[in-house]
């Protein structure tokens, strides 16, 4: 597992004008994150990335601990994926790529590009093992699980969540309310704090995204939590990726769910044709479609300089908004694969709003790292509060059952 990176970027301080009542305009066009959304009529253009495939259930080989073999001996992942010639991959692609490589398709992995990770490697990654595991620790863990099951059954977990003091959390979010920035927000009631928002460029321009720093037993875990890009913010999104040197993007949503657009397409559909933006050109170099998530290798080229940056885009496709993951095992593999893939910069995580599924991912990732490192002190409520301290709005409650 790659060690968590130390923070290198600073949070942006907003120095915009104070919010004035005369600047207030009607924002009825922006939905609230909590309002019930009914499916609307969507044009063919809106639905060009919609998923129309059937779910395919794949068997996962079961590996017993006695046959455990370390498939990840090196500190970092194989460089072969990153060194693969983009022109070679684009030349070998067929017309099927126009459909399969872009939208959230769930199809057998043999229709993917060159294999990035095997099921065997994923199965091993899912085995979250403490460094030390004594008989006494086994007993403590068993008792803890029994207590957790009891709390879940009796809704005590939900009560603990509701008693967390979120209302008194400090932080203003004036930048997101500025007139010039309002159209950059997907939801009118989910804005980043001024103190932790991600600034863009020398002018510290606005994007709806926050730096999240979680410290546990001296280790700092560094993330960016973002909303799903809008058509008008796709350039800004890629600027954020490059400026923060992030090599992993975690996407926990489909583009369209229940007839509602949750996130606009910000990567190329085909390995033959790049996505052309104002300031960037994005190439799809490789991809692999697994049962519960899709891995894409993207190359982002800055047009002004010609410099390129490689990103691993990992999209979980079986977790509906306001729901739970379709498979606990699949989600564990997903989280662990992301952590193993992390090399540089903060891990960039987004769903639709950037506070529900995104917040759950951050908490689960830190918990798994804490288990592996045998951290003696670990408090889930405090972990949750540390996430909310850096985000406006709270993290959804999600029971992985």
What is the tens place of the pLDDT at every residue in 163-185?
Answer: 765 555 657 889 999 999 999 99
Q: Tokens in use for 359?
A: 């917040």
Contact 72, 340 (CB under 8 A): yes
Q: What is the pLDDT of residue 21?
A: 36
Q: What is the pLDDT of residue 323?
A: 77
Backbone φ and ψ of 211, nearest 5°? -75, 135
Measured in whole angstroms, the distance separating CA 130 from the mean position of its chain's CA atoms is 25
Question: If DSSP codes are grouped into helix, strand and coil, which group holds residue 369?
Answer: helix
Q: Considering just the CA atoms, what is the radius of gyration of the chain in Å?
A: 21
**Whole-number percent of the chain with pLDDT over 90:** 42
- pLDDT value at 17 more than 60: no
Q: What is the pLDDT of residue 41?
A: 41
Separation CA 310–CA 85 (nearest Å): 12
Largest Cα separation within the chain, whole Å, is 70
Q: How distant, in Å, are the alpha carbons of 104, 108, 230, 247 from that of 262? A: 12, 25, 9, 23
Cβ-Cβ contacts under 8 Å for 167 (sequence gap 6 or more): none
Q: What is the pLDDT of residue 130?
A: 66
59-68, 206-215, 327-336: range with lowest mean pLDDT: 59-68
Better-scored residue on pLDDT, 93 or 360: 360
Better-scored residue on pLDDT, 35 or 24: 35
CATH of region 99-389: 3.90.190.10
Mean per-residue pLDDT for 140-161? 79
Q: What is the pLDDT of residue 375?
A: 61
Mean per-residue pLDDT for 122-142? 76
Q: Tokens in use for 149?
A: 């099951």
Q: Tokens in use for 63?
A: 């590996």
Q: Tokens in use for 120?
A: 């065997």
Residues 324-354 as b or e (16 or more Cβ within 10 Å = b): bbebeebbbbbbbbbbbbbbebbbbbbbbbb
Better-scored residue on pLDDT, 321 or 47: 321
277-309 pLDDT per residue, tens: 999 999 999 999 999 999 999 999 999 999 999
For the question of residue 369 being annotated catalytic, the response is no
94-103, 233-242, 266-275: range with lowest mean pLDDT: 94-103
Better-scored residue on pLDDT, 133 or 199: 199
Most confident range (mean pLDDT) of 80-89, 232-241, 255-264 is 232-241
Residue with tokens 């990732």: 365
- pLDDT value at 220 more than 60: yes
Cβ-Cβ contacts under 8 Å for 211 (sequence gap 6 or more): 7, 9, 11, 196, 197, 198, 222, 223, 224, 346, 390
pLDDT averaged over every residue in the chain: 73
47-56, 174-183, 320-329, 390-399: range with lowest mean pLDDT: 47-56
* Catalytic choice (351, 363, 369, 398): 351
Q: What is the pLDDT of residue 121?
A: 92
61-110 pLDDT per residue, tens: 333 334 434 343 443 333 333 333 343 344 434 434 444 555 554 444 44
Mean per-residue pLDDT for 123-128? 84
**Whole-number percent of the chain with pLDDT over 70:** 62
Q: What is the pLDDT of residue 34?
A: 55
pLDDT band of residue 20 (cuts 50, 70, 90) is: very low
pTM: 0.69
- pLDDT value at 357 more than 80: yes
């Amino acid at each position: 597992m790659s060690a968590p990176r130390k923070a290198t970027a600073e949070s942006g301080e907003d120095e915009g004008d104070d919010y004035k009542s005369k600047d207030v305009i009607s924002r009825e066009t922006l939905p609230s994150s909590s309002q019930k959304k009914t499916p609307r009529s969507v044009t063919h253009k809106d639905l060009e990335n919609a998923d129309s495939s059937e779910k395919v259930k794949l068997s996962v080989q079961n590996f017993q601990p006695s046959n455990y073999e370390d498939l990840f001996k090196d500190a970092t992942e194989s460089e072969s994926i990153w060194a693969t010639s983009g022109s070679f991959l684009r030349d070998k692609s067929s017309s099927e790529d126009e459909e399969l490589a872009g939208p959230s398709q769930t199809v057998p992995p043999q229709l993917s590009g060159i294999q990035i990770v095997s099921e065997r490697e994923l199965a091993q990654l899912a085995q979250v093992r403490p460094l030390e595991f004594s008989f006494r620790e086994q007993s403590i863990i068993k008792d803890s699980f029994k207590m957790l099951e009891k709390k879940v059954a009796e809704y005590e977990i939900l009560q603990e969540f509701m008693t967390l003091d979120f209302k008194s959390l400090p932080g203003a979010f004036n930048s997101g309310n500025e007139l010039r920035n309002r159209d950059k927000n997907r939801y009118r009631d989910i804005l980043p704090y001024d103190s932790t928002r991600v600034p863009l460029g020398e002018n510290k321009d606005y994007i709806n995204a926050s730096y999240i720093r979680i410290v546990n037993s001296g280790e700092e875990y560094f993330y960016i939590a973002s909303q799903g890009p809008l058509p008008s913010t796709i350039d800004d999104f890629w600027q954020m990726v490059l400026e923060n040197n992030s090599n992993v993007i975690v996407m926990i949503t489909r583009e369209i769910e229940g007839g509602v657009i949750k996130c606009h397409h910000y990567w190329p559909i085909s390995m033959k044709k790049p996505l052309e933006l104002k300031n960037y050109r994005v190439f799809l170099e490789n991809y692999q479609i697994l049962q519960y998530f899709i891995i894409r290798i993207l190359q982002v080229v800055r047009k002004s300089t010609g410099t390129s940056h490689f990103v691993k885009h990992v999209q979980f496709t079986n977790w509906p908004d306001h729901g739970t993951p379709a498979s606990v095992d699949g989600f564990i593999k997903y989280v662990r694969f992301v952590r193993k893939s992390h090399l540089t910069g903060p891990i960039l995580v987004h769903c639709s709003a950037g506070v529900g599924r995104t917040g759950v991912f951050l908490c689960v990732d830190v918990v798994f790292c804490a288990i592996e490192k045998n951290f003696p002190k670990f408090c889930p409520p405090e972990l949750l509060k540390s996430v909310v301290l850096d985000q406006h709005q709270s993290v959804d409650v999600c029971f992985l059952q």
